[in-house]
Amino acid sequence: MTQAVRRAVACASVLFSAHVALAQMPPQPTESVSFAQAIERAVARNPSAAVAAAGILRAQALLASARADERLQVNGNVTVTTLNRGVKFEDTTVTPSNSLLGTIDIRMPLYAPATWARRAEAEEATGVATLSGGETRRQTALATADAYLTILARRRVLESNVRARDTSRAHFDLASQLEERGTGSRLNRLRAQQVVSSNETFIEAAQFAVYRAQEALGVLLVADGPVDAADEPNFAASPDSAAAEIGRLRSTRADLKLFDAEATAAEHTLANASKSRLPLVQGIFQPQAAYPAQFFTPQATWRVLFQVDVPIFDSGTRSADRTLRQSALDLAKATQAAAITNASSEVRTAREAVASAQRTLASARAAAAQAGEVVNIVNVSFRAGGATNIEVIDAERTARDTETAVAVAEDAQRRAQLDLLIALGQFP
C-alpha cells in the first residue's frame, strides 16, 4: 500500500468517525430561555407550585371552618308524626293522629375560649402554609438554577473537547503529510489518529451530558422536550456586610421566615391548650310551630336558652393533647435554632467560597493560556524536527485538561456566587 493510499484510508476513517458522531447527536432543544425566564416559568408551571397552592387552599378552608364555629348557626327541623289513632277528651282532640312540628334552632357562642383559640390557630396555620408555599417556590427556583448552571458548565466542557479534537486533527493531518513525504512514520500518524479518536469519544460523552442537563431543565419548566440555556446569569450579591446579620437574614430568607412562623404558631398552640378546660356558653333561640294546634300545646311558641357546657373529667385526653403540643413546640424550636446557626455559617462559607473560586478561576485561566502557548511552540518545533510526536500529544492533552479545569472553575465561581445570594436571602 502506497503512502498516498494509506493517507486516504486514514482520512476516510477520521471523516467517517466524525460523521457517525454527528449522526448520533442527541435531539436538539426546541427552545432556549434566559436565566430569568427559566426561574419565572419553573415557579409558575412546576407541579410543586400547584402542591403548595393546594396546601394554602386547604389552610384557608380550615380557617373558614374555624370562623364558622364562632358565628351564628341556624338549623331547622320538621317532624311529621302519624299515630295509629288520635286521643280525644270530651269531643276535643288532645293528640291528633297526624301532626306536623317545625322548629328553628338559632344559637350563638357567647363565651367560647376553645373555639376562639382554634380560629386563631387556623389563622396562623394559613400564614405558615403561605410561607411554606414560598419555600416550595424557592426550592423549585434553586433546582432550576442548578440545572441551568449545569448546562453552561457542560457546554463549556464540550467546547473545550471540540477544540482539542480540532487541534489533534490538525496534528494528524501534519503527521500524515510528513509520512507521505518520508520524513515521518506510520507510528506517529497512528498516535495522532488515536488522539483524534479519543477526543471524539470525549465529545460524545460531553454532548450527552449537555443533553441530559437540558432535559432536566425541560422537566422543571414543564416543557415537552429539552430546553437550552440562552445566556449566562450575572450573580451580583449585596456588598453590605449588614446583610449577613441574623436579624436581617430572618426577614429575607424564606426558610428562616417559615421556621420562625412555625415556632410562633407552636407556642400559641401550646398556650391555647388550657382554654379547652374553660366552659362554653351559648345563647339559643328556638321558635316552634305545630299543626294542628294541640290541647296542651299552643300552635306557635318560642323559647330562649342559655346553655353552659363545663368539662369536668376526660380521663387524660386534654393532658395528652398538651403533651403533643409541647413536643411540636420543642421540635419547631430545635429546627429554628439549627436553621439560624446554619444560616450564619452559610453566609460566611459562601463569601469565602466566592473569593476562593475567583482565585482558582484566575489560576485555571492562566494555566490554560500557558498550555495553549506550549501547544503552539511544540507544534512549530515538531514541524522543524525539534520535538517528538509524543511531546505534541502530551501538550495537546494537557491543553485539553486545562480547558476543562477552566470550565470547572467557571462553574464553581457561578455556583459560589449563587450560593451567596441564597445565603443572604437575595435569590430568588
Task: Mean pLDDT check: name the lowest of 18-32, 135-149, 306-320.
Answer: 18-32
Residue position matching grid coordinates 432543544: 29
Task: Report residue 188's pLDDT band, with 50, 70 and 90 as the boundaries.
Answer: confident
Task: Report residue 342's pLDDT band, with 50, 70 and 90 as the boundaries.
Answer: very high
Task: Mean pLDDT check: name the lowest of 250-264, 273-287, 365-379, 381-395.
Answer: 381-395
Task: Report residue 382's pLDDT band, with 50, 70 and 90 as the boundaries.
Answer: confident
Residue by residue, what is the 3-state secondary structure of 225-258?
CCEEECCCCCCCCCCCHHHHCHHHHHHHCHHHHH
Task: Report residue 264's pLDDT band, with 50, 70 and 90 as the boundaries.
Answer: very high
Percent of the chain, pLDDT > 90? 60
CATH number of the domain enclosing 132: 1.20.1600.10
20 occurs within a structural domain: yes
45 occurs within a structural domain: yes
In one-letter notation, the amino acid at residue 396 is E
In terms of average pLDDT, the best of 46-50, 89-93, 105-109, 167-171 is 105-109
pLDDT at 415 > cutoff 90: yes
* Residue 377 CB neighbours (<10 A): 13
| Residue 216, H or E segment | helix 186-220
The whole-number pLDDT of residue 391 equals 87
Residue 209 CA, chain-centre distance (Å), reads: 22
Q: 113 and 275 in contact (C-beta within 8 Å)?
A: yes
Task: Output the average pLDDT for the chain.
Answer: 87
398 occurs within a structural domain: yes
DSSP label at 120? H
**pLDDT tens-digit profile of 142-151?**
999 999 999 9
**pLDDT tens-digit profile of 386-399?**
888 888 888 888 99
Percent of the chain, pLDDT > 70? 91
Task: Report residue 5's pLDDT band, with 50, 70 and 90 as the boundaries.
Answer: very low
pLDDT at 7 > cutoff 70: no
428 occurs within a structural domain: no
Distance CA 55, CA 155 (A): 38
The whole-number pLDDT of residue 46 equals 85
Q: Dihedral sign for Cα 362, 365, 371, 373, please.
A: negative
262 occurs within a structural domain: yes
Residue 41 CA, chain-centre distance (Å), reads: 13
The whole-number pLDDT of residue 8 equals 44
Strand partners, 79: 101
pLDDT at 23 > cutoff 70: no
The whole-number pLDDT of residue 184 equals 79
The whole-number pLDDT of residue 237 equals 62
The whole-number pLDDT of residue 177 equals 87
Q: 228 and 152 in contact (C-beta within 8 Å)?
A: no
Stretch 364-369: mean pLDDT: 94
The whole-number pLDDT of residue 291 equals 87
The residue among 372, 6, 393, 368 whose CA lies nearest residue 171 is 393
Strands 87-89 and 227-229, sheet pairing: unpaired
260 occurs within a structural domain: yes
Task: Report residue 4's pLDDT band, with 50, 70 and 90 as the boundaries.
Answer: very low
pLDDT at 267 > cutoff 60: yes
pLDDT at 14 > cutoff 90: no
Question: Comparing 314 with 327, which gets the higher pLDDT?
Answer: 327
pLDDT at 197 > cutoff 50: yes
Stretch 106-113: mean pLDDT: 94
pLDDT at 31 > cutoff 80: yes
The whole-number pLDDT of residue 25 equals 63
Stretch 32-47: mean pLDDT: 91
The whole-number pLDDT of residue 125 equals 93
Q: How many domains does the chain have?
A: 1
The whole-number pLDDT of residue 241 equals 53
Stretch 387-413: mean pLDDT: 90
254-283 b/e (C-beta count within 10 Å ≥ 16 → b): bbbbbbbbbbbbbbbbbebbeebeeebebe
Distance CA 252, CA 347 (A): 13
Distance CA 334, CA 401 (A): 46
Query: Can you give the pTM of this predicted structure?
Result: 0.78
Domain that holds residue 9: 3-423
| Residue 313, H or E segment | none
